[in-house]
Structure 1
Amino acid sequence: MPPPRASLLSIPYTSLGGNEWYLQAEFLPAKHCSQDLVVICHPHPMYGGQMYNNVVEALFRGLSDEYCTARFNFSGVGGSDGGFENGEGEIGQVKAVIEYLCQDFVQDQACGAWSRVHVAGYSFGAAMALPAALSMEKVTSCTAIALPFGMFSKQVADAVAMQSRRRIPLLFLTGDSDDFTPVPRFTKWVAKFGGAAQVVFAGADHFFSGYEQQLAKETRKFLMPSTKNGS
């Protein structure tokens, strides 16, 4: 039996300026029946980031045995309308994608509600995913890969404040050769999220070339306990 094929989606989003945009997305059903969803966010739109990035691809395909996965292009990227919203509107875009997949998409597909909704982001995508995940009751966990803490200190500080009010399982991953966040700084930032899991990959830089499968493996390992325990 051939593996499931990804479906193309067009997700509505109202921009910070009040414009009605559509975000290009893909949804991949799990190979084995699953009511768990993972939404994956790509790196910086202004530096070539898009949903076919190597890390995003590794999670989108690599988690699809056990999880339904979705990825999307931020505004102004690929087939998505509009332009860059300065790292502010993009948090709302993550939330819009999750809301659509939990409401209109579920109704259109005539399938049951998701049991768990996980969010994962890489680099810029991690900085957008983290506050979005912590602000949404329906989100179960968040995985942040190679988050450039110094570049997005406001978003991270907001997420720390949110986590003091609502705790969910968090996983932070980085490489020990990441040019944006040295390991001591990474460890210091992650400590602000009390109890968060962390993994440092020896030899990996910010782009994780050659480490894609290990990233998917560690993310899967993090997600599996919540899947088994139903929490």
Structure 2
Amino acid sequence: MAPVGIPGGRGVTASLDRPGSDALVVACPPHPQYGGTRSDSRLEAVSDALAPEVGCLRFDYGPWDEGRGERADAENALRWARERADAVGLFGYSFGAAVALRAAAEVGEAGPAVLSVLAPPARLTEHLDAVAALDALDCPVQVVVGERDDTVDWEPVADRAADLGHAVERLPADHHFVGQRGRIGETVGPFLRGHL
């Protein structure tokens, strides 16, 4: 794991797992105001599942900015990864899932080759409307939800993703996926690797 700084003027720091990889996945953490960091166990599970051939850039957001700055952080991390890897994917969990969806929809040609989101909330702020973002994506998308998740309103995201023909996986879990680290890796890792 190599520490890196992400340009963009927001003081974003990241950990790069397997820095020599030709393919990278950028991983967006959960809500920073609730303790979400790049060391989140669900992000680590995905990174572990990508080994040994795919690297993972797990980053911490800069100062809280109600979704705007956090989305910019993800966009900057995507651009950083695109400059260093032949293929780039994107993953996000919870708040990070909404950030990932919006960032993927906004960056155009710098967007990911593949996107997977875990426990995505339908809408958090005016800057993080996950359902609307799905309509702007032209890469393979996987939406993974916990069937017992009553923390976020994930159903509109899963429904719209299914309508658009994207992969929707329902796991027997709550929002935090307690005890499901292995299952997260087994579900997300192969999907991302298969499209990179």
How high is the TM-score relative to the length of structure 2?
A: 0.88
One-letter amino acid of the structure 1 residue matched with residue 113 of structure 2 = T
The alpha carbon displacement at 1:46 in A equals 1.1
- What SS does the aligned partner of 2:10 have? strand
Q: Is the 8 A contact 1:134 1:168 kept in 2?
A: no
Aligned to 2:2: 7
Match of 1:73 among 38, 57, 60: 60
Q: Distance between the aligned counterparts of 1:99 and 1:183, measured in 2?
A: 28
Residues 215/40 of structure 1: CA separation in 2 closer, same or farther (3 Å cut)? same
Aligned to 2:143: 172
- What SS does the aligned partner of 1:94 have? helix
Q: Distance between the aligned counterparts of 2:156 and 2:135, measured in 1?
A: 19
The alpha carbon displacement at 1:157 in A equals 4.1
Aligned to 1:90: 70
- What SS does the aligned partner of 1:162 have? coil
Q: Distance between the aligned counterparts of 1:22 and 1:217, measured in 2?
A: 33
Aligned to 2:82: 102
Higher deviation after alignment, 131-140 or 214-223 = 131-140
Structure 1, unaligned stretches of length 5 or more?
A: 1-5, 14-19, 76-82, 107-113
Q: Distance between the aligned counterparts of 1:61 and 1:155, measured in 2?
A: 29
1:155 matched to 2:144? The reply is no
The alpha carbon displacement at 1:211 in A equals 0.7
Q: Distance between the aligned counterparts of 1:36 and 1:173, measured in 2?
A: 22
1:144 matched to 2:117? The reply is yes
Q: Is the 8 A contact 1:45 1:74 kept in 2?
A: yes
Equivalences for 1:1-231 in 2 at 5 Å? Answer: 6-13=1-8, 20-29=9-18, 34-75=21-62, 83-103=63-83, 106=84, 114-136=85-107, 137-138=109-110, 139-151=112-124, 154-163=128-137, 167-181=138-152, 185=156, 187-192=158-163, 194-202=164-172, 204-227=173-196
Q: Is the 8 A contact 1:38 1:118 kept in 2?
A: yes
- What SS does the aligned partner of 1:40 have? strand
Q: Percent identity?
A: 27
Q: Distance between the aligned counterparts of 2:135 and 2:171, measured in 1?
A: 28
**More contact order relative to length (CA 8 Å, sep ≥ 6):** 2
- How many residue pairs match? The answer is 193
Structure showing greater Rg: 1
The alpha carbon displacement at 1:87 in A equals 0.8
- What SS does the aligned partner of 1:26 have? strand
One-letter amino acid of the structure 1 residue matched with residue 14 of structure 2 = A
How high is the TM-score relative to the length of structure 1?
A: 0.76
Divergent runs of 4+, >4 A: 181-186
Q: Distance between the aligned counterparts of 2:39 and 2:194, measured in 1?
A: 28
Residues 201/220 of structure 1: CA separation in 2 closer, same or farther (3 Å cut)? same
Structure 2, unaligned stretches of length 5 or more?
A: none
Q: Distance between the aligned counterparts of 2:59 and 2:88, measured in 1?
A: 16
The alpha carbon displacement at 1:48 in A equals 1.2
